[in-house]
Structure 1
């Protein structure tokens, strides 16, 4: 008996290529590629695709209002992603693990916009969802960022974080 080939998802592969392009120094090309994928996916397309696209598109906008719009889309799409769909993409992923980062990003957007009440609610949600993070470098990164943003909220600091993902990253 042969093992079936791993699940192939051309959209997730294209998202990965665009993200790599952005990390490689061409955020404008990454944004164009992701926006093209967003247009093809549509607002009723695969929620995993929509969540991933919106999450990465938010990182490519320096304007916190534009980032906020994409981060809201990412959170809305995450609410529609099923566990089975996530495991189909990668057996080790869990939808619950998405929420700390999604709420962190929203908290940071609201903080940068000066909406500190909304920022505090989302940082509390990020903390509440943090037990879903692994005890690994990614989990450590998100937990550190949650505390960094929480401190900035407490100080009423609207300055962009040097550690935040973005076009300059």
Structure 2
């Protein structure tokens, strides 16, 4: 709420307190979400990239190190999915893994935007490829389409800045 109200510094301070409270061995799902929000409060694009990479690392750790003992073993980092993931779990609470599965395209998109802001188009393109691969694992719907649109827009912006045709 603080960030949305325009108080980036106070939002950053409070999120930092939570980050230290959770600690490096804390729940990966919570570290992912917190780092994702922390990235948005940064003023320096390098700091934003650092926090977005932390969010991705935590998400990949959660997916590959399944704390609930379920699953079929390690997964390809950055591309969540697999036979034990029901894309429509039905009514009731959703497992955090389902939420993270939907988070991967956004994480890769944010990292691509960070690299674009740092004038690193090759790295940005690599992250856009990962975003496209992970968005295809999502169920059809408004969220999936909004991510595809955002990926396409960033692709056009990067290619335009480089003087390339998409």
What TM-score do the two structures reach when normalised by structure 2?
0.73
| Displacement after TM superposition at 1:28 (Å) | 1.9
Which residue in 2 is equivalent to 1:99?
104
Q: Runs ≥4 in structure 1, deviation > 6 angstroms?
A: none
Q: 1:152 aligns with which of 153, 157, 166?
A: 157
Which residue in 2 is equivalent to 1:31?
12
Which residue in 2 is equivalent to 1:16?
none
Counterpart secondary structure, 1:81: helix
2:24 corresponds to 1:56: no
Q: Distance in 2 between matches of 1:109 and 1:131?
A: 22
Report if aligned partners of 1:116, 1:156 keep a CA contact under 8 Å in 2.
no
For these two proteins, the number of residue pairs brought into alignment is 135
Larger mean Cα displacement after TM superposition, 122-131 or 24-33: 24-33
Q: 2:130 aligns with which of 125, 129, 149?
A: 125
Which residue in 2 is equivalent to 1:3?
none
Q: Distance in 2 between matches of 1:96 and 1:41?
A: 22
Aligned-pair Cα RMSD in Å: 2.1
| Displacement after TM superposition at 1:134 (Å) | 4.1
Which residue in 1 is equivalent to 2:55?
74
Structure 1: state its 5+ residue gaps: 1-19, 158-169
Q: Which structure: greater helix fraction?
A: 1
Q: Distance in 2 between matches of 1:147 and 1:97?
A: 18
Q: Distance in 1 between matches of 2:41 and 2:144?
A: 22
Q: Distance in 1 between matches of 2:41 and 2:138?
A: 24
Deviations 1:122-159 (A, max 9, x none): 001101111233444433332221111111121236xx
Counterpart secondary structure, 2:94: coil
What TM-score do the two structures reach when normalised by structure 1?
0.71
Which residue in 1 is equivalent to 2:120?
115
